[in-house]
Amino acid sequence: MKTKMVLTPEQQAMLNGEKGEAMAKVMKTLVMYGEAFGAERMVPVTSKYGHLVTSFGLSVMKPVYELIDKLLEAGAVSGQKFTVDPRPLDNNVPSNFLQNLLFKIMYSKQESYEEQLKKMGLINDHAFTCTCYLDEVGNIPEKGEVLSWAESSAVVYANSVLGARCNRNSGIIELFGSIAGCVPYFGLLTDEGRMATWIVDIQTTKIPEAQILGSAIGIKVMEDVPYIKGLTRFIGTELNDKTKAYLKDMGAATASNGAVGLYHVEGLTPEAVELGEKLIKPDAKVYVIDDAELERVRKSYPCIWKDPNATPRLCFIGCPHLSLIQLKEWTQKLEKRLNELNKEKVSIPTIFTASVPVLNAFSKTEEYFKLVKMGVITSYICPLMYMNNPLCGKMPVITNSNKLRTYTTCRYHTDDEILEIITKGGI
């Protein structure tokens, strides 16, 4: 194969088939992928761990499992251990007989796929989460490291909050990068690709709801890089657990409602702190966000429930998975509100989702016992994959996640609204 990209002798040898046909195809895929975006060379993947988006053994994904079998047979395993998105099933989450039956059919390859993941390089049995970058999970890349990750919410967090470098890769491509140990150098890996082409000027009178702010930005800038001004007035200039949680949720909404892979927050995110307005391209467009604009975006969300006035059957909080501080804060808010209402338990079945390591840490806190007493269920499930079951998708389910709203029939509500609904038992 003739390449426009300049490859190292080792990469060229791999492409020529010296490490077998499977490795040659892996390299050919990466070369074609890079050349589609004008990459002139490969760069080494420098992070300790990878992260894969495909965590589900959907029976219809048979071609993917066959491909992975081919790789395993050829000894083409990941050169780095990796975490992976959350599991699609958890018995803790309520589901009826028919839903369970369909889950079994839909995810019939779950067990065998997890075996493949282990052989390929999965860190451990608890490595299933979209928030791999949280302290308890420990897949935390350093600033400037080159990653071969997929999962849009993790990629945008790693780029923006951690200052690592990763493109918005598709499933399989991210695995190929981890196998080959290199990725094509283009887009968000380059200094040029990390420059902002939008200035987002926040002029709201109060702290914007992270999930609506991210949605507004994503819908407006799509795949471009925004430089966000005016946010530190509300969330401060310190990257602590609270601001990281805010940025996690805002970023997930930018990546799912649009296709943002990197944002800069003036005075807060590492590259913005280091380079400031030098990150902004001279011809950058400006998007002003005030209270009215957030309201306009919020009102644009369609409600696709059959009966818009139905009482919610379920509430999901935690897409992306919750952090420890979020679990504690939600527990405190719920306790206070239920006390005010003179109630002991939530009135709508409510699921808080988080990674196993975060849930383990949470189970050692006093809030955990309070939360259980209030009737809230904790789970490591991916709520999106739960809702992908057509029988679950027919139910009226509410969420505070704009990502979950975008991909499923879930209806979005702000945190405050959710608190009222689940404690009072209706909208």
Partner 1 sequence: MKQFKGRPVVPGTVKAEALVSKGGFNTLASYQKSLMFGDKKATCSDQNNPDLYGKPMSGKALCLPQTIGSTTGGMVLYCAAALGRQPACLLFSKPIDSLAAAGAILANVWTDINMPTVDSLGDEFLEYVKTGMIISVSEDGTVTVE
Binding site for partner 1 (CB under 8 A): 25, 28-29, 32-33, 36-37, 53-54, 58, 60-64, 66-67, 106, 150-152, 155, 167-173, 187, 223, 256, 259, 304, 388, 390, 407
Shortest Å, Cβ 254 to partner 1: 13
Return the number of the residue (186 or 352) whose C-beta is nearest partner 1. Answer: 186
Q: How, if at all, do strands 226-229 and 314-317 pair?
A: unpaired
Cis? peptide before 320, omega within 30° of 0 = yes
Return the number of the residue (106 or 421) whose C-beta is nearest partner 1. Answer: 106
Q: How far apart, in whole angstroms, are the C-alpha atoms of residue 351 and residue 397?
A: 11
**92 touches 378 (CB < 8 A):** yes
Helix (H, G, I), strand (E, B) or coil at 235: helix
Burial class (CB in 10 A: 0-12, 13-18, 19+), 424: middle
Return the number of the residue (61 or 77) whose C-beta is nearest partner 1. Answer: 61
**315 touches 347 (CB < 8 A):** no
Cβ neighbours for 100, distance < 8 A, ≥ 6 positions apart: none
Q: How far apart, in whole angstroms, are the C-alpha atoms of residue 417 and residue 420?
A: 5
Return the number of the residue (112 or 203) whose C-beta is nearest partner 1. Answer: 112
Return the number of the residue (287 or 301) whose C-beta is nearest partner 1. Answer: 301
Burial class (CB in 10 A: 0-12, 13-18, 19+), 282: exposed
Return the number of the residue (106 or 418) whose C-beta is nearest partner 1. Answer: 106
Burial class (CB in 10 A: 0-12, 13-18, 19+), 273: middle
Q: How far apart, in whole angstroms, are the C-alpha atoms of residue 335 and residue 345?
A: 9
Return the number of the residue (215 or 331) whose C-beta is nearest partner 1. Answer: 215
Shortest Å, Cβ 224 to partner 1: 12
Shortest Å, Cβ 191 to partner 1: 19
Other C-beta atoms closer than 10 Å to the C-beta of 259 total: 15
Return the number of the residue (136 or 151) whose C-beta is nearest partner 1. Answer: 151
Q: How far apart, in whole angstroms, are the C-alpha atoms of residue 205 and residue 208?
A: 8
Q: How far is CA 142 from CA 51, 139, 237, 265, in A?
A: 14, 10, 20, 18
Q: How far apart, in whole angstroms, are the C-alpha atoms of residue 207 and residue 248?
A: 15
Shortest Å, Cβ 154 to partner 1: 9
Return the number of the residue (178 or 350) whose C-beta is nearest partner 1. Answer: 178
How many Å is the maximal CA-CA distance in the chain? 73
